Chains A and B, each alone.
Chain A
């Protein structure tokens, strides 16, 4: 079994062409990034607002927990059955999936953003107010930079969930690395399933490492200096 899987993985034909690993990886990443971006567009402003004003804190605290209980596979099927007949073309398969991915990603990004702003040293906020900064300036120049590491940690865990769920979403017909897992099962070729599983695990690991690196890079220099003293 292991040698068959290895053979499949090292066969150049597996990697190139329209259904090859390279093109499926790009599709997988494209869908995942679109979903993450849309989720961030919704969740970051809301998280900043809640963190800055303190209004709606219960939402930021409880949303992530409540959403975790909802099984994504079930929601994926519901969204597909509801939307597929009403859409056409490639969009018909991808739109329901992207919607579900966005839905999954909003809670972690929202609570990460909120937690980041919440954790800003009150003394820093008071100092900003003291030197005459407006509320908008405080938000953009003090709270957002200081919140970036936790915000990114929210984006990072959202991205992990997105990549895993985008894999499962191959069952409703979209492209991406999940195709190998689902199609290999359908054609009873275990080496294809296992090979695809290895590639998607490596992709998830790589993306997580990149985001962990980003997380280190975005720590505001002011905060590093403060810590060293």
Chain B
């Protein structure tokens, strides 16, 4: 027991939280990669695309959780609402990041790749994308941390995850579960943040090679 909550309950809710925050992060990245690429490839697309995805972010989370059943035909309690809402928020944050990252690749580098005979597709995957990794992972870290916080709001519509400890504690006038929930959310956010930072380091060995000479 911790703070009046069984460890196994915390574990179950933590797993649910990871699922509801993590799957949309990956889906969001998968959707943002082509969108961000389009915004870099066709410059005129960038302003409307960044503004459009940015608009998604202005919708308050509780409102979005409640409106999605209207659009998707799901029930209010379905996980799908939270998964879709979190994916939309991830896309809102990451499209801009991917565009910034791809845009940060030096022109000379791209020209060198073209001169070596790389086609556009191959250059994008083999040269541009790896070089954009530090910028993209920086955005991913922000999205991961804010996803963890936003998912907890879904407790208000009855979708269970760590936020459920907040509503339970509040209804019983007991701080214990609330503090356990806050602690677990913060730890999860920090672990995801550190994990993505580590992944970024592993994916970009050339950034360290220069220093070790």
A residues neighboring B (CB under 8 Å): 1-2, 5, 65, 68-75, 77-78, 80-81, 160, 163-164, 167-168, 171-172, 178, 181-182, 185, 190, 193-194, 196-198, 200-201, 204-205, 208
Contact = CB atoms under 8 A, between A and B. Distances in A.
A88 to B, nearest CB: 18
Nearest to B179: A78
Q: Chain A contact residues: over half helix, strand or loop, or mixed?
A: helix
A71 B145 contact: no
A69 B170 contact: no
Contact of A71 (B57, B62, B63, B182): B182
B35 interface: no
Q: Chain B contact residues: over half helix, strand or loop, or mixed?
A: helix
Interface stretch (B108-116, B119-127, B185-193): B185-193
A163 B60 CA distance: 7
Contacts, number: 124
30 contacts: A1-B69, A69-B148, A70-B182, A70-B185, A71-B148, A71-B181, A73-B153, A73-B156, A73-B166, A74-B181, A77-B169, A77-B178, A78-B178, A81-B170, A167-B60, A168-B61, A168-B156, A181-B63, A181-B66, A182-B156, A185-B76, A185-B156, A193-B76, A196-B63, A197-B64, A198-B63, A201-B58, A201-B64, A204-B58, A205-B55
A167 B175 CA distance: 22
B59, B64, B162, most chain A CB atoms within 10 A: B59
A181 B173 CA distance: 22
Given A171-B167, A181-B63, A201-B64, 13 more contacts: A68-B149, A69-B149, A74-B182, A77-B169, A81-B170, A81-B173, A172-B170, A182-B156, A193-B76, A198-B63, A201-B60, A204-B63, A205-B55
A190 B75 CA distance: 10
Nearest to A70: B186
